[in-house]
Amino acid sequence: MKRIHLFPGREKLALNRHPWIFSGAVARQEGSPGAGEIVEVRTAEGAFVAYGQYNPTSKIRIRLMEWVQAAEVDELWYRRRIEEAWALRLPLTRQTDALRVFFSESDGIPGLIADKFGPYLVVQFLTSGADRVKELITALFARTVPGLKGIWEKSDGDGRRLEGLPEVEGLLWGEAPGEIEITENGNRYLVNPASQKTGFYTDQRDNRSLVAPWLEGRSVLDAFTFTGGFAVAALAAGAKSVTLLDSSADALAQARRNLALGGWEPKEVLEGDAFQLLRDLKKRGDTFGAIVLDPPKLATSRDHLEKAMRGYKDLNLQALKLIESGGYLASFSCSGLVDFAAFREMIAFAAKDSGRRVDIVRQLHQAPCHPIRTSMPEAEYLKGVLLRVI
């Protein structure tokens, strides 16, 4: 196995089981490992650190996977990771048939994401290390997850580009999923992994059910609705009306269909940029009994963090201006770079500028099918608050 030697002192985080070795920490390497090859990482003094996936193109040069020198990253090793991941999700299968069954570093295989929608798995191989063991992983899922009909690959997104991998989509095992109907907390949704660019965000499952009771009887604006995740939960909980807002026409079309499944129609559908549309609503004199604000990841890198925080603050301020006295704002950030303290501080600044009294009623987190390994705080990416606005 090829060895990678770190600069002095650069092993500290890695020895605490943080899984990322950046290119700047690498002093020298023996031979030239291929993309995704398992390598051995050593300190400057030559002591063993861990085994991990090597990537020659990514800034994250090695993604660590195994810290026990005597262990072997072989078929049995991968099988254990898949079986552990499934065991953790088993209790959740009573609550929903849509859940994340594998969450990358948090479940021990960097770059591997798998979502289960009914009897289908939608799998992403986002690093070359995960891509290299695609066939093995597919076979392991097929034997571990009971009742599967098909495994569909949907390897897209920024991650693969950074690793120099092309986008890939197609059938890996069994039959291709068509439109899948899933049930979450008793609410039905349609998911279209193969035919459209729409999946379903299972990380918001608990938050949809925790927020919904506060929306009863209210006129709700579901901003960044995607396929209507919160809108359906709101209507099922007795919301008076929902307005859907998103920049994607496809997502909005799917959101309408999801509402129709429950026999509902939106009060209004707004397609466009939320930063602008929230201002337009204010100009029009519209108000809402509650708003859900679930923007995409605004902080994509440390360099853009300040700009992202201004974006979050602006959205929250504009939303607060639209809320009736005694109303609610459920506000989220899915940026791993924004921690809970920074998020709450941003909310406090938006509240101050709005001149409203704002109380935190609940703090909200990613669903447990997105676990957070204690050694990798970045995995805690989704955070939110339910606010009462006076």
Task: Tell which positions 291-330 bind ligand SAH, by CB under 6 A.
Answer: 294, 296
User: What does the DSSP assignment read for 231-264?
Assistant: HHHHHHTT-SEEEEEES-HHHHHHHHHHHHHTT-
Provide the edge-to-edge strand list for the sheet that holds 323-333. Answer: 268-271, 241-246, 219-223, 288-293, 323-333, 383-389, 358-365
- Of 108 and 266, nearer to ligand SAH (C-beta) is 266
Among 43, 204, 209, 335, binds ligand SAH (CB under 6 A): 204
Nearest approach in angstroms of CB 5 to ligand SAH is 42
* Binding segment toward ligand SAH, per CB under 6 A, in 53-61, 127-135, 244-252, 280-288: 244-252
226: contact with ligand SAH by CB under 6 A? yes
Among 229, 266, 289, 327, binds ligand SAH (CB under 6 A): 229
Residue type, 380: E
Among 145, 274, 337, 385, binds ligand SAH (CB under 6 A): 274
Among 230, 312, 328, 343, binds ligand SAH (CB under 6 A): 230
Task: Tell which positions 87-126 bind ligand SAH, by CB under 6 A.
Answer: none
Q: Catalytic residue, from 211, 334, 337, 346: name it.
A: 334
* Binding segment toward ligand SAH, per CB under 6 A, in 146-154, 172-180, 245-253, 340-348: 245-253
248: contact with ligand SAH by CB under 6 A? yes
Residue type, 269: V
Q: At 43, list the tokens.
A: 């300190």
- Of 75 and 273, nearer to ligand SAH (C-beta) is 273
* 334 included as an active-site residue: yes
Among 93, 95, 185, 247, binds ligand SAH (CB under 6 A): 247
Q: At 40, list the tokens.
A: 């051995």
User: What does the DSSP assignment read for 311-353?
Assistant: HHHHHHHHHHTTEEEEEEEEEEE--TTS-HHHHHHHHHHHHHH
Handedness of CA 358, 359, 361, 364 (dihedral sign): positive
What binding mask, one character per residue, do residues 334-353 give for ligand SAH by CB under 6 A, x or -? --------------------
251: contact with ligand SAH by CB under 6 A? yes
- What whole-number distance in Å separates Cα of residue 261 and Cα of residue 181? 10
Nearest approach in angstroms of CB 276 to ligand SAH is 8
Task: Tell which positions 135-174 bind ligand SAH, by CB under 6 A.
Answer: none
Residue 194 in contact with residue 176, Cβ under 8 Å? yes
Nearest approach in angstroms of CB 278 to ligand SAH is 9
Local structure of residue 192 (DSSP, 8 states): B
Cβ count within 10 A of residue 281: 23
Q: How far is CA 73 from CA 42, 80, 268, in A?
A: 17, 10, 53
Among 42, 86, 246, 254, binds ligand SAH (CB under 6 A): 246
- What's the angle, vertex CA 80, arms to CA 76 and CA 85, rounded to 5? 150
Among 125, 141, 224, 264, binds ligand SAH (CB under 6 A): 224
Nearest approach in angstroms of CB 233 to ligand SAH is 8
- Of 134 and 279, nearer to ligand SAH (C-beta) is 279
125's CB contacts (< 8 A; 6+ apart) are: 111, 112, 131, 134, 137, 153, 155, 160, 168
Q: In 3D, which of 204, 198, 159, 156 has the Cα closest to residue 180?
A: 198
Among 201, 214, 312, 328, binds ligand SAH (CB under 6 A): 201
Nearest approach in angstroms of CB 237 to ligand SAH is 14
Helix %, strand %, coil % of the chain (to 5): 35, 30, 35
Residue 312 in contact with residue 337, Cβ under 8 Å? no
Residue nearest to ligand SAH (CB): 229
Nearest approach in angstroms of CB 129 to ligand SAH is 27
- What whole-number distance in Å separates Cα of residue 136 and Cα of residue 155? 16
- Of 53 and 227, nearer to ligand SAH (C-beta) is 227
Q: At 51, list the tokens.
A: 């085994």
The catalytic residue positions are 334
Instruction: Using CB under 6 A, list all residues that contact ligand SAH.
Output: 201, 204, 224-227, 229-230, 246-248, 251, 273-274, 294, 296
